[in-house]
């Protein structure tokens, strides 16, 4: 397996991997009424705004089996998400008045995305990432290499730090980030944030 730059032809594969790993590392098909919502919130916006900060794992047969995506400026990204990205898809996803389901919770999150909604960019970690690997690509060191590839590019751009946020139920991911030496940051209930200084 090899790591390479994302290409537009990989878009559907990234969306599929997002769905197949979205439920705390497990498949999320059928968790929401609309399976496409996962990628519309957590993957496709990054591919659209920052294809230059997207890297994929390509298997020997040419399939994409993992990715890392991100932004070098969280506040600017969240402003773009609110003003440009989310209006493109929001008509298919009405804003719920209260949170009754997991889909409601994700929609409330999406409608509430804005600069400063999360504190980590202002604490010296302006970049953030999302990473997902299918089971066949796990346990091979590819997750570490994906993150290192993105961090190297962020360092080249002079970005001082990066954060990421994981569900506190995703114990495998939490252990992985601990092994990478990322610093646990103060977090709100239900999630654990990590940070890394790049200077």
Per-residue pLDDT of 34-65, as tens digits, reads 999 999 999 999 999 999 999 999 999 999 99
Q: Is the pLDDT of residue 190 over 90?
A: no
Q: Please give the pLDDT value at position 172.
A: 86
Q: Please give the pLDDT value at position 164.
A: 94
CA 9/CA 6 separation, integer angstroms: 8
- pLDDT (tens digit, 9 = 90+) per residue, 68-84? 999 999 999 999 999 99
What average pLDDT does this structure show over 155-177? 92
Q: Please give the pLDDT value at position 127.
A: 97
Q: Please give the pLDDT value at position 5.
A: 97
- pLDDT (tens digit, 9 = 90+) per residue, 124-149? 999 999 999 999 998 889 999 999 99
- How far separated are the first and last CA of the chain, in Å rounded? 30
Q: Is the pLDDT of residue 170 over 90?
A: no
The residue with tokens 């990628």 is 39
Q: Is the pLDDT of residue 118 over 90?
A: no
Q: Is the pLDDT of residue 154 over 90?
A: yes
Sheet holding 2-5, edge to edge: 2-5, 55-58, 64-71, 127-133, 161-167, 191-197, 183-185
Decide the pairing of beta strands 2-5 and 55-58. antiparallel
| E strand intervals along 13-145 | 55-58, 64-71, 127-133
- Please determine, looking at this structure, whether the domain spanning 2-158 carries the CATH number 3.40.630.30: yes
Q: What pTM did the predictor assign? A: 0.93
Q: Would you kindly state where each structural domain of the chain is located, as residue ranges? A: 2-158
User: What are the tokens at 174?
Assistant: 């939490």
């Amino acid at each position: 397996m090899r790591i390479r730059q994302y290409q537009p032809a990989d878009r559907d594969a990234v969306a599929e991997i997002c769905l197949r790993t979205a439920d705390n590392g497990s498949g999320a098909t059928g968790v929401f009424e609309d399976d496409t919502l996962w990628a519309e919130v957590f993957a496709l916006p990054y591919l659209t705004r920052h294809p230059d900060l997207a890297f994929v794992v390509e298997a020997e047969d040419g399939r994409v089996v993992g990715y890392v995506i991100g932004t070098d400026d969280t506040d600017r990204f969240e402003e773009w998400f609110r003003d440009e990205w989310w209006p493109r898809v929001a008509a298919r996803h009405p804003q719920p008045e209260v949170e009754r389901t997991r889909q409601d919770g994700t929609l409330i999150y999406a409608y509430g995305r804005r600069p400063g909604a999360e504190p980590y960019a202002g604490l010296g970690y302006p970049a953030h990432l999302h990473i997902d690997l299918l089971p066949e690509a796990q346990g091979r060191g590819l997750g570490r290499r994906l993150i290192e590839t993105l961090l190297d590019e962020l360092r080249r751009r002079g970005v001082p730090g990066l954060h990421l946020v994981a569900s506190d139920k995703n114990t495998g991911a939490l252990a992985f980030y601990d092994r990478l030496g990322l610093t646990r940051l103060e977090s709100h209930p239900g999630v654990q944030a990590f940070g890394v200084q790049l200077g």
